[in-house]
């Protein structure tokens, strides 16, 4: 399948776009770091509004996301430099590019609709794909985690990163199942979860595999540690008066952002850019068009 065919399958729609632009408070001459380019939805909007007067530094750990973003940004009047890397290393990128500080940073974390639908890496429990889940294509795969980690560690992952109430049962089922056949595909994993959990849970509001898939994806990409590191290094890289905007999609991520931002405000190192430090969420018109926006929370601060 060509990349154009793939693009037509699912198109990532940027979430909380107007709210992000408002909180980024860009002005001519600013350097803007987009740490999660995705399909360059937010960065393209910045370029459309500001043309070459804003320098965009764009990062993504996924090579495909970088290619998509390059296609989008090269079709616009934009001043940009893109780099494939994890935002936990944004300090190294800045020094490689000779950047001492930036005016605004956006992290729109998690994964994109393009990754979910088109990557073939097993992010979605709705498609039968290999259990890979590595956004960067490097490191240990989801299958390796499921087939080699001990039962207690798997239980911790499912409970800690998925808040999965049946973590114990699912971990036990994984360890039993893999003795006869290693887990290699998403459908094997989904089937195993469905068999391990009670019937009422299978018929609940969310798919019974939702939380386990989230947990294994977070573990595979070390997402929470990367977020903590990216937040700390991002704040250091911001100049005084710089804006930090984070969009997160589940409570584990949001808790990390909320706690750090509150601490920075308490220490008088930052001020909130949203009313009383409350997160912004999507309006009804947006969630109707883009259901993914339902769980999005935007938090923003200004460095003092
Ligand atoms: C929600 S999407 C961003 C969408 C983008 N704002 C847009 O509107 O097109 C998240 C992107 O961040 C990337 N990503 C997630 N965690 C990352 C990390 N720690 N470092 C770098 N990129 C990351 C993913 O590969 C994905 O492409």
pLDDT over 70, % of the chain: 97
The protein residue with its alpha carbon nearest to ligand 1, atom 24, reads 111
- Residue bearing tokens 């390059």: 70
d(CA 157, CA 9): 31
pLDDT value for 10: 62
Residue 298: phi and psi, rounded to 5, are -110, 125
The protein residue with its alpha carbon nearest to ligand 1, atom 25, reads 62
Nearest CA among 234, 248, 238, 142 for reference residue 190: 142
Quote the tokens at residue 251: 């409570």
Number of other residues whose CB lies within 10 A of the CB of residue 136: 14
Tell me, rounded to whole angstroms, the distance of Cα 290 from its chain centroid.
17
Reduce the DSSP state of residue 235 to 3 states and report it.
helix
**pLDDT averaged over every residue in the chain:** 94
20 touches ligand 1 (CB under 6 Å): no
Quote the tokens at residue 208: 């019974």
Angle between helices 63-74 and 41-50 (to 10 degrees): 20
d(CA 91, CA 71): 26
Mutation pick for ligand 1 pocket among 135, 139, 295, 297 (CB with most ligand atoms within 8 Å): 135
Beta-strand relationship, 31-34 and 102-108: parallel
78-137, pLDDT tens digit by residue? 999 999 999 999 999 999 999 999 999 999 998 888 888 889 999 999 999 999 999 999
d(CA 203, CA 158): 20
The protein residue with its alpha carbon nearest to ligand 1, atom 20, reads 86
Instruction: Say how many Å lie between the CA of residue 129 and the centre of ligand 1.
Output: 21
Quote the tokens at residue 114: 């393009």
The Cα-based distances of 124 to 2, 98, 100, 105, 183 in angstroms read 21, 39, 39, 29, 15
The protein residue with its alpha carbon nearest to ligand 1, atom 7, reads 41
38 touches ligand 1 (CB under 6 Å): yes
- For the CA of 34, the nearest atom of ligand 1: 6
69 touches ligand 1 (CB under 6 Å): no
207-260, pLDDT tens digit by residue? 999 999 999 999 999 999 999 999 999 999 999 999 999 999 999 999 999 999
Mean pLDDT of 55-61: 98
- Residue bearing tokens 């408070």: 25
């Amino acid at each position: 399948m060509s990349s154009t065919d793939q693009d037509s399958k699912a198109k990532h729609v940027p979430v909380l776009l107007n709210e992000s632009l408002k909180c980024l408070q860009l002005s001519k001459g600013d350097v803007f770091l987009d740490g999660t380019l995705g399909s360059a939805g937010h960065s393209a909007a910045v370029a459309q509004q500001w043309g070459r007067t804003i320098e965009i530094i764009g990062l993504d750990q996924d090579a495909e996301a970088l290619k998509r973003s390059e296609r989008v940004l090269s079709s616009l009047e934009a001043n940009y430099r893109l780099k494939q890397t994890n935002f936990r290393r944004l300090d190294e990128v800045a020094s490689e590019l000779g950047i001492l500080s930036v005016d605004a940073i956006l992290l729109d974390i998690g994964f994109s609709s393009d990754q979910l639908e088109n990557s073939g890496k097993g992010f979605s429990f709705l498609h039968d794909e290999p259990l890979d889940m590595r956004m960067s294509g490097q490191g240990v795969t989801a299958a390796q985690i499921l087939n080699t980690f001990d039962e207690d560690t798997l239980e911790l992952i499912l409970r800690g990163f998925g808040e999965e109430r049946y973590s114990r049962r699912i971990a036990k089922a994984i360890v039993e199942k893999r003795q006869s056949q290693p887990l290699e595909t998403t459908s094997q994993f989904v089937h195993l979860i469905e068999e391990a959990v009670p019937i009422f849970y299978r018929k609940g509001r969310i798919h019974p595999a939702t939380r386990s898939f989230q947990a294994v994806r977070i573990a595979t990409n070390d997402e929470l540690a990367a977020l903590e590191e990216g937040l700390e290094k991002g704040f250091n890289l911001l100049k005084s008066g710089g804006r930090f905007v984070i969009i997160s999609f589940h409570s584990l991520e949001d808790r990390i952002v909320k706690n750090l931002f509150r601490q920075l405000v308490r220490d008088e190192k930052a001020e909130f850019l949203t009313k009383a430090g409350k997160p912004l969420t999507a309006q009804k018109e947006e969630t109707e068009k883009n259901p993914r926006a339902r769980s999005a929370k935007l938090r923003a601060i200004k460095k003092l």
